Structure 1
Amino acid sequence: MEDPRFNSFRYGLAVLLMRHPHLRPYAHSAHWWIEDIENYADAVRFRDKLRAEGDNKMLLEEYEQICIELEEEVLSYFGASALDPP
């Protein structure tokens, strides 16, 4: 059973902002894409679990790609101006 205190949205946003710190000033707008950020968080958590277990290389590769695609999708929501570092 998943920890009831875990919040996929907050985790996903935190991962995204750690990987792309130039988006931090735009974090307040992330609430528009809650479901997408939650999906990203779930994929990242599962990918990291697969990495730790190291058993299923093919599934890990698939989730690596899923994470990249979801991250790119979420990044696109922030708009081109937010993606260009100052």
Structure 2
Amino acid sequence: AVLESEAAMTDPATVGVVQDAADSQVVALRCWLEQERAAGRRVYAYGAASRAVALFGRAGVNRSLVAAVADASPAKQGRRMPGTD
């Protein structure tokens, strides 16, 4: 059964609003990263969670925009994030 709080997520209009919000956040991130690069600054990120992989993928993030990603988890150290180059 769908919980009342989840019911709105089955409405196409609601899903569209969420998609629009996600799209604008992706554009904002990409623009900020490009501004930092243009200003000669290097950006480093913290947190290599799967959500970060999805966000970076949507924003087209690569090494030219983010120099490195750090994470406290020993299992993620010394590795690469999928889609970052």
Superposition TM-score tier, normalisation by shorter sequence = 0.3 to 0.5
TM-score scaled to structure 2, two decimals? 0.34
Quick one: higher RCO (CA 8 Å, sep 6+), 1 or 2?
A: 1
The structure that has the greater radius of gyration is 2
The normalised TM-score by structure 1 is 0.34
